[in-house]
Amino acid sequence: MLTPQRDGKKLTYNDLETMPEKIELFSGKLDGAQDMLNLCLYNLGLEQFVNGLPEESKEILKALLEEKEGQNSRLPIARHNEGFAPLKKLVTDEPKKG
């Protein structure tokens, strides 16, 4: 599985081949959406994703990260001394100028 990072990464055809052949809609939910989202975030990068979110969504994301940090130390990112600090910093930082 591709792991999205702060900055986006280039995709290869091999990356695309790991994706489901099709995405289907079942009862209003996309089957395969999580895999597609991870692929897109890997390519886009978390910083660009967060910078493109509406402020309301950033606040929701920040609250979710703080909630998860407080209750689930088994998440891979929470094993680091910084916890969710790197992603929370993206949510609260001003967008880069340029």
**CA dihedral sign, ordered 49, 97, 62, 58:** negative
pLDDT reading at 54 higher than 70: yes
Q: What is the pLDDT of residues 5-21, one digit of tens each?
A: 999 999 999 988 888 88
The pLDDT score that the predictor gives to residue 80 is 45
The pLDDT score that the predictor gives to residue 74 is 53
The pLDDT score that the predictor gives to residue 21 is 82
Q: What is the pLDDT of residues 15-38, one digit of tens each?
A: 888 888 888 889 999 998 888 999
Q: What is the pLDDT of residues 56-79, one digit of tens each?
A: 999 999 999 999 888 765 555 544
Q: The whole model's pTM is what?
A: 0.68
Contact between 89 and 95 (Cβ < 8 Å): no
